[in-house]
Each structure stands twice: as C-alpha cells, then as structure tokens.
Amino acid sequence: MDAIQITRVGDNLHLNHGPIDLLLHAQGEARQVQAAYDQASACFGSTLGDLVQELPLLRQELSIATPGADQAAPIGHIARQMFDACMPYHEARLSPMAAVAGAVADSMLAAMKQTGQLQRAWVNNGGDIAFSLAQGQQFCCGVVPEVSTSRIMGSLTISAQDPVRGVATSGWATQDQGGRSFSLGIADAVTVLANNAAGADVAATMIANQVDLPEHPDIGRAKASELAPDSDLRERLVTTGVPRLSEQQCQKALERGASYARKLKSRGLLHFAILFLQNNFITVGSEKSLREVAWR
C-alpha cells in the first residue's frame, strides 16, 4: 500500500494515501487550527485500511428487500456513513461506494471539529466537499459545468444559517477524460448541496444517472467491468461518449434529471441542485440564499 503523505500547503493541509487525496482548510486561533490538522492527520492514517477491509461489502448492491433485513451492516465509521447515505436509494441498484468520497470528507471534517471551535473548516475530496461554519460565516463553492475540464464558471454562497454542509458534483466523464468514476447518464455535471457531503455525493450520482437519452443511438456506452474490472457497477452500461445534441434533446435529458431531483428534494435528501448538459442547465431548489448562481 502506498505511503501516507501529509503536507502543509500554505494555510491548507494536504493528505494523500493511495486513491484518497484531500485538501483541508481550517480558520480560527492558530493553536486550534494546528490541533485540528493534527487530529485530522491522526485519523487519516487508518482511513484507507479500514475501507479496504470492508471493500467486498461496500461494493455489493444494497438489498431491494427491507433495509437491514438481508444486507449486512458495515462496521467502520466511514463505511457506516456510506451505508446510511445510500439506504434511501436502496431500490436503485447502487452500492455504498456511491457515497465514499463524501463520507471520507465528512469524517475528516468531524475529526477537525473535535479539537475546539473553528470559524470555518472544509475538506475537499476531489470536488466533494464537507464544511462547517460558525455564526456569521459563509462558504463559497465553485460551479463547474463540465467535470472533464473542472473549469469554474460560477459560484454558490452558503451562509451559516443555511442547512447545507456538503456539496458534491458528478458527471459522465470517465477517468481517462478527467472524471473520477462512471455514470449511467449523460450529464456534463450535476452539483448538489445537501446536509452533508455523503448525502450530496450519492444524490449527485443518482441525479446524473437520470440525465439521459436512452433512445439516442450515438451515445457511447460500455460495460463498467470492461473499463474497470473491479467496478461495483459490474455489467451495467456506463457512458463513454456523448455526441453534440440539439437544445431540445438537452432539455429533455435535463428535465428527466430535474424531475428526479425534485423528488429527492421533497424527501429532504437535498436542498439545491444544478444540472448541466452542453451549455444548457436546470436548477432545482428555492432557498433564497441559493437561488441565484453568480456566473463569471
């Protein structure tokens, strides 16, 4: 297993271990910031090993039976967070891996907060971000219309009084095209704001899967196992390429995703979502502080 790397980068802390690559930031009194970084570093040491131990279970699709009846529960703290975040979607043939990046971010943020009061703190796990805000503080996150380029084109501002404490983005771009995982849909990007990063992570994944034109013959698809033999998606068809679409086609695909996102919002699984496909977008959510995206 790769060595653990812990590096201070200006006011931030960079943690890397194998596939886990985190950037942490804390604001507050100097001693509290240092204590937060020390605590996160100590907790990070066992993160990958704990997940690897339970990887066979975490890659299994959640049971479509009564939650908990036929599905063994994971033991580790992060694994349980993944499981809990995904259980509301247990009938959708997904595994707890859909929430892994967000759950790791949530866990590291919780470790930082154990040491005392911080004005602001955040953990960025490849664009899936967990954050905390003291009274009067704000958090500004970038809006990326295309996962493949990671170019920030706008921003959303969250205030301490908002219920949001996690943001995540998902899209169809595969690992060789700038993405981090696979998608069943064709969204260039879906960004979700939710109660925590694990919840935002799985919601963004599920909405991105719904942004689709299954009837379109020119959308490239392949079995996940052919692209990554150890993928938890196994034989399911994932998107490998999307041709230029008409505006009508884009709107049709986006509305499919937005309709699903509205259902998730009605169940309290997200607070705000913005869906992108080839220069077209739809937003879901009506919170006053999140209604407007500040475009660059």
- pLDDT class of 286 with cuts at 50, 70, 90: low
State the average pLDDT over residues 21-46. 96
State the average pLDDT over residues 251-264. 98
Task: For 112, list phi and psi in degrees, rounded to 5.
Answer: -60, -40
Going from N- to C-terminal start, the domains of the chain cover: 5-295
Residue 288 has pLDDT above 50, yes or no: no
The pLDDT of residue 138: 95
CATH architecture of 5-295: Roll (3.10)
Return d(Cα 114, Cα 159) in angstroms, integer. 22
**Residue-wise DSSP of 122-157:** EEEETTEEEEEE-TT-EEEEEE-S-TTT----EEEE
Residue 116 has pLDDT above 60, yes or no: yes
The pLDDT of residue 64: 62
Residue 211 three-state SS: coil
Task: For 128, list phi and psi in degrees, rounded to 5.
Answer: -95, 115
**Alpha-helix runs per DSSP H in 138-240:** 197-210, 224-227
Return d(Cα 270, Cα 96) in angstroms, integer. 18
The pLDDT of residue 290: 45
- The sign of the dihedral angle between the CA atoms of 266, 269, 270, 271 is positive
Q: What is the pLDDT of residues 119-144, one digit of tens each?
A: 999 999 999 999 999 999 999 998 99
Average pLDDT over the chain, rounded to an integer: 91
The pLDDT of residue 167: 97
Angle of the 247-266 helix axis to the 197-210 helix axis, nearest 10 = 140
Q: For a pLDDT cut of 90, what percent of the chain falls above it?
A: 75
- pLDDT class of 68 with cuts at 50, 70, 90: low
Residue 291 has pLDDT above 50, yes or no: no
The pLDDT of residue 70: 61
The pLDDT of residue 78: 97
Q: What is the pLDDT of residues 137-189, one digit of tens each?
A: 999 998 999 988 888 888 999 999 999 999 999 999 876 666 678 999 999 99
Largest CA distance in the chain: 59
